[in-house]
Amino acid sequence: MVLMQVIVAGLLIGAVYALFSSGLTLVWGMMNVINFAHGEFVMLGMYVSFWAFTLLHFGVASFSLAAAVMLFILGVLVYICLIKRVMRGPMLAQILSTFGLVLVLRYSAFWAFGSTFVSLPEDILGPSLNVGGILLSAPKLVAGCVALAITIGMHLLLTRTMLGSQILAVAENRNAAMLMGIRPDRMQAIAWGLSGASAGIAGALIATFFPISATVGESLGLIAFVVVTFGGFGSVPGAMLAGLIIGLIESLSAFYFGPIYQDVFVYALFVLVLWIRPRGLMGKA
Partner 1 sequence: MKIFKKLATAAALSASLLVAPQAYAAPDVKIGVTFPLSGNSGNAGKSAVAAIEVAAEIINKPHPGLESLPLGAGVGLPNLGGAKIKLVIADHQGSPSEGQAQTLRLITQEKVAGMVGAYQSAVALTATAIAERYGVPFIVGDGVAANITERGFKWTFRTTPIASDFANAYMEFLGELKKAGHPGDKVAIVFENTDYGVSVSGTIREIAKKRGVNIVADIAYSANGADVSAQVLQLKEKKPDAIIFISYTSDAILYMKTLKSLDYRPQLIIGDNSGFSDPAFIKAVGELAEGAINRSAWSIGAKDSVTWRINELFKAKTGQDMDDTSGRDMQAFFVLAEAINRAGSTKPEAIQTALQKTDLKANQLMMGYNGVKFDAKGQNVLASAYLIQLINSQYVSIWPATAAEKPLVYPFKGWK
Partner 2 sequence: MMRRSGWIALALVLVLFPLSFDNPYYEQLGSLVLLAAISASAWNLIGGYAGQVSVGNAVFFGAGAYMPLLFYKLWEVSPLYGFPAGIAVSVAIAIVIGIPTFRLSGHYFSMATIAVAELIRIVVSNWDFVGASIGLTGPAVARDWTDLVFRSSIPYYYMFLTVLTVLLVMTYCIERSRFGYYLRALRSGERAARSLGVPVSRCKLYIFILSAVFTSLAGSLYAIKFGFADPASGFGILVSVNMVIVAALGGAGRLLGPLLGAVILIPLQSETNTLFGGGGTGFTYILYGGIIMLIARFEPGGLLELWERIRDRRASRRAVALKEALAASLPNSQAGR
Residues near partner 2, by CB under 8 A:
28, 32, 34, 81-82, 85-86, 89-97, 99-108, 110-111, 222, 225-226, 229, 260, 263-264, 267-268, 270-271, 274-275, 278
Q: Phi and psi of 213, rounded to 5°?
A: -155, 170
161 lies in the site for partner 1, by CB under 8 A: no
If the CB atoms of residues 80 and 182 are measured against partner 2, the closer one turns out to be 80
Residue type, 154: M
Residue 211 to residues 62, 68, 106, Cα–Cα distance (Å): 20, 19, 16
If the CB atoms of residues 87 and 157 are measured against partner 2, the closer one turns out to be 87
If the CB atoms of residues 34 and 249 are measured against partner 2, the closer one turns out to be 34
Query: Which residues on neighbouring strands pair with residue 131, listed in sequence order?
Result: 134
Distance of alpha carbon 29 from alpha carbon 22, whole angstroms: 11
Helix axes 184-206, 138-160, angle to 10 degrees: 170
Helix axes 38-56, 184-206, angle to 10 degrees: 60
If the CB atoms of residues 51 and 261 are measured against partner 2, the closer one turns out to be 261
126 lies in the site for partner 1, by CB under 8 A: no
49 lies in the site for partner 1, by CB under 8 A: no
104 lies in the site for partner 1, by CB under 8 A: no
Residue 114's contacts (CB-CB under 8 Å, 6 or more residues apart) are none
Contact 254, 13 (CB under 8 A): no
If the CB atoms of residues 57 and 88 are measured against partner 2, the closer one turns out to be 88
Positive or negative CA dihedral for 48, 42, 77, 189? Answer: negative
273 lies in the site for partner 1, by CB under 8 A: no
Contact 105, 44 (CB under 8 A): yes
Closest by CA position to 74, among listed 171, 200, 166, 184: 200
Residue 44 touches which member of partner 2, partner 1, none, C-beta under 5-8 Å by kind: none
If the CB atoms of residues 119 and 165 are measured against partner 1, the closer one turns out to be 119
Instruction: Report how many residues bind partner 1 under the rule CB under 8 A.
Output: 45
For residue 119, the SS3 value is: coil
Contact 206, 48 (CB under 8 A): no
Residue 257 touches which member of partner 2, partner 1, none, C-beta under 5-8 Å by kind: none
Q: Which stretch binds partner 1 (CB under 8 A): 74-82, 92-100, 114-122, 166-174?
A: 114-122
List residues binding partner 1 (CB under 8 A): 2, 5-6, 9-10, 12-13, 16-17, 107, 110, 114-119, 122, 127-128, 130, 135, 137-138, 209-211, 213, 215-216, 218-220, 223, 247, 250-252, 254-255, 258-260, 262-263
